[in-house]
Structure formats: C-alpha cells, structure tokens
Amino acid sequence: MILEDKSIFTQAVHGGERGPRPDFTPVSTPISHSVGYLYDEMADLDAVFAGERAGYVYTRYGSPTVTAFEQAMAVLEDADDAVAFSSGMAAIHAALLGAGVRAGSTVVSAADVYGATYSLLEKGLGPLGVKVRFVNITDVDQVQRVVSEEQPAAVLCEIISNPLLKVADVPALADIARAGGAALIVDNTFATPYLFRPLEHGADYVVHSATKYLGGHGDVMAGVVACGAARAQELRERQKLLGANLGPQEAWLALRGLKTLPLRMRQHCANAQVVASWLVTQPAVVHVNYPGLTGHAQHGLAARLFSGRGYGGMVSFDVRNATQSDVFRFMEALELVLPATTLGDVYSLTLYPAHSSHRYVTPEVRAALGIGDGLVRLSVGIEEAEDIIGDLAQALELVA
Ligand SMILES: Cc1ncc(COP(=O)(O)O)c(C=O)c1O
C-alpha cells in the first residue's frame, strides 16, 4: 500500500507494517504479538479455519510463539503434542476435562497435592457434580481398591508431591487406571522431563506449572499439557471456547527458560542433595523430606523411575517443636533464601504451606496429610550450596 499520499491518521496506523515476507529465518523465535493473520486469498483463511491447512487465524486459536513453546514441550516430554495454558491450574483443569470429567463422574486424586489442585477438585468441581476420592497415592493397593469401587474418569497425582515430596509409582498407577477405564494425569512440575517423562511410563496426560522449573526465573506464569495427538486436538478445540490461552510474551519467556532447564536442574538436584543431607544433621530440624535421601520412604522407587540425574530441587522439613511464629521468625531471618510464594526459580525460596499453598485446605485435612505448624518448604536454587546452607544455619540458630 502506498502511504505517501495518505493522511497522517492513516500513515500513523499503517506505517512500517506488513513489509515483504522475509526470506531469512531468525535464529531465536520472535514474539508474535499479532492477534489476527492475513492470507493472500480468503480461501486460504477459510482453509485454515476449517483445519485443512496449517496456519493461524486468531490468537485464541493458536499463535506462532506459543506453538514454538508447545513443540519444545512435546519434544521434552516425548509427546505427540503439547498445549500451552495461561497457568498450571488452567492446564490441570483442561486435562481433567480432557479426561472426560463431567457431572456424575469421579476423580481419584492423591491427597498430597498442591493446595489449589485439592481445592479445584473439592470446591471447584465438587459443586458441579464431580465426586472426588482422595487417596494415599503411595498405597497402590488403596488406589486399586478405590478405582475398582468408583470406576473414575481420571486418576490424578503429582510425580513428586507438593509439599511432602512423596513419589508416585506412575507405572503401577497407569496399569490400575487403564484397567479401570480411567485416564492417568501426572503433574510433572517438581520432576520436570529432566528427571522423568510420565508418558513413557503409561500416563495419558502430563501437566506442568511452567511457572516453576520450566520458566525457571520467577517471571512468567504458564501451564502446559503434553499428551497424545487426539487428546491434544480435543484440548485445543475446548481451549478455543474456554480461552485460558498462554500469551505470546509468556510463551517466549517459557521457551527461553527451557533452553537452560537441564543446566539448572543439574544444579538444583546437586544443591538439594547437599542441603537435604545437611538438614538431616541439624538438631533444630526433624522429618527432612527429600527423595534423594536413602531414608525417604520412596527412595528406591525414585531411583528406579528417575533418569539417574538426581531427585529434584524441592525439600521440605519440620522445624523441631515449632509454632507458626517460630517458623515465621526463621523465615524472616533468612537473608539469601527468599520467603516468596513460588518454587523452581534460580533463587532459593522458602514457603510456609499452612498459610500459603495449603491455606484453603482445612486444618483437619492438613493435619491428616502431615502438614503441621512446623513444616517449611524449601525450593533449593542454583546458588552455591554452601551459601544456602550458611543462610539456613544462621536462621535456624534463632529457633534452636
Ligand atoms: C505441583 C504444582 N502444580 C500446579 C501448580 C499450579 O501452577 P500455577 O501457579 O502456574 O497455576 C503449582 C503451583 O504452585 C504446583 O506447585
């Protein structure tokens, strides 16, 4: 379009836009902010709408930067496809709907899951007519019994649970789910594909809060579901209607995070092993939960299932005989380790589950799960392990 003879109003709107199609390829994925897409012929646009040719029509239906992140996740999770969402919670919700959870159906879920996942099931889906049975996911016989009783649409677990770091026997759960006609949804947020790829062990859906290790820098909120092609197609069709899409800026940040995921995870795992081993020796600490410790109830299972590269960056422990205010004093005294409500960042972070991640879970349920007043969750960052230990030591002295 010639702009020289147009008004400044028109020039301001169209100047610089839609130059010739490039014959070069950018090395790194650009951020495509455009919401709409043009084709030379309307028939092409029509064909894209109809799904007869690849392309983009409208960002809620898909966009190039988001596709790049999805394709990277499909590769990392060894999946046919992956579908990105605006948060981990949106991804979990989508996977539950994809698994066929509807009014009248049942979900069998690990009781020890992220508090919002627990609440989504109980308070979000419960009133819509979905029955939820919470189980001890480490008791495979119990899961088997409940699945036989309920014939659920879905079985849901975290590969490493938040915040008690229990490890789920995904191959055994996959057998149980398959025999019971249920889809198995595995939240792989804590392990990441660096340690474990649930689809290779029989899971039907892998979900992530990409806000955590995948993004890795505490600056992006995102979620993703990786699964088979037909399931992914169904998720995309529903996403067009529900609209919990990932934005292009966020997809770009998440994609950038993936590039250093293995490097960061290597350091997270090494640091967490050192920090957890040190915590065990501290008189002010009891019940150190870390799958890399030989005393962990599922250490053998984790060693068998995981890639051999470590046991993740998450640790939790109880401050001995501590009240909430003791733990708050400990957390406030930390200088390097930040008391921030997230995990999986390059920074070391602590969180008090009883007042944050599990705030909306009743005190009775928290107590039954083992989330007591003294429990601290620690996301071990990629700083020098000795510096993390030094900071924990000086803060623990206050409550010893
Ligand atoms: C294991 C796990 N899954 C899912 C979520 C939810 O993710 P998001 O906060 O990105 O919605 C979280 C959040 O902390 C989590 O820890």
Q: Which residue has the tokens 């040719």?
A: 53
Strand order in the sheet with 349-351: 285-289, 314-319, 375-379, 349-351
What's the pLDDT at 188? Answer: 98
With DSSP H G I counted as helix, E B as strand and the rest as coil, what are the percentages for the chain, rounded to 5?
45, 15, 40
1 pLDDT more than 90: no
Query: Which is nearest to 39 in space by CA: 52, 26, 25, 24?
Result: 52
Residue 266 banded pLDDT, cuts 50, 70, 90: very high
DSSP letters for 120-163 = IIIIIIGGGT-EEEEE-TT-HHHHHHHHHHH--SEEEEESB-TT
Q: What percent of the chain has pLDDT over 90?
A: 94
The residues near 354 (Cβ < 8 Å, ≥ 6 apart) are 324, 366, 371, 372, 373, 375
Mean pLDDT within 91-107: 98
Distance 12 CA to ligand 1 centre (A): 43
Does pLDDT of 83 surpass 90?
Answer: yes
Residues with CB under 6 A from ligand 1: 87-89, 114, 116-117, 158, 162, 187, 189, 209, 211, 221, 223
What is the per-residue pLDDT across 172-189, written as a single tens digit (0 to 9) for each?
A: 999 999 999 999 999 999
Please indicate whether residue 356 or residue 155 has the higher confidence score (pLDDT).
155
Tens of pLDDT, residues 334-355? 999 999 999 999 999 999 998 8
Token digits of residue 31 = 């951020």
Percentage of the residues of the chain whose pLDDT score is greater than 70: 100
The chain-wide mean pLDDT, for the chain, equals 96
For residue 163, cis peptide bond before it (omega within 30 degrees of 0): yes
Catalytic positions: 60, 114, 187, 212
Of 212, 246, 359, 371, which is best to mutate to test ligand 1, by the most ligand atoms within 8 angstroms of its C-beta?
Answer: 212
pLDDT digit string, tens, across residues 131-143: 999 999 999 999 9
Cβ neighbours for 28, distance < 8 A, ≥ 6 positions apart: none
Name which residue sits closest to atom 7 of ligand 1, judged by CA: 88
CB 176 within 8 A of CB 140: yes
| Ligand 1 atom closest to 113 (CA) | 1
CB 227 within 8 A of CB 204: yes
Residue 199 Cα, ligand 1 centroid: separation in angstroms? Answer: 19
Is 60 a residue whose pLDDT tops 90? Answer: yes
The mean pLDDT of 22-46, rounded to a whole number, is 95
How far, in Å, is the centroid of ligand 1 from the Cα of 190?
A: 10
pLDDT of residue 364: 87
Q: What pLDDT, on a 0 to 100 scale, did the predictor assign at position 359?
A: 81
Answer yes or no: is pLDDT of 360 > 90.
no
Cite the DSSP H helix spans in the chain. 8-14, 42-49, 64-76, 88-98, 115-119, 140-150, 170-179, 192-195, 229-242, 248-259, 261-280, 299-305, 324-333, 363-369, 385-399
pLDDT level of residue 357 (50, 70, 90 thresholds) = confident
Contact 205, 184 (CB under 8 A): yes
Whether the predicted model's global pTM rises above the 0.95 cut: yes
Residue, of 30 and 22, whose pLDDT is higher: 30
Q: Which of 156, 195, 211, 220 to mutate to test the pocket of ligand 1 (most atoms within 8 A of CB)?
A: 211
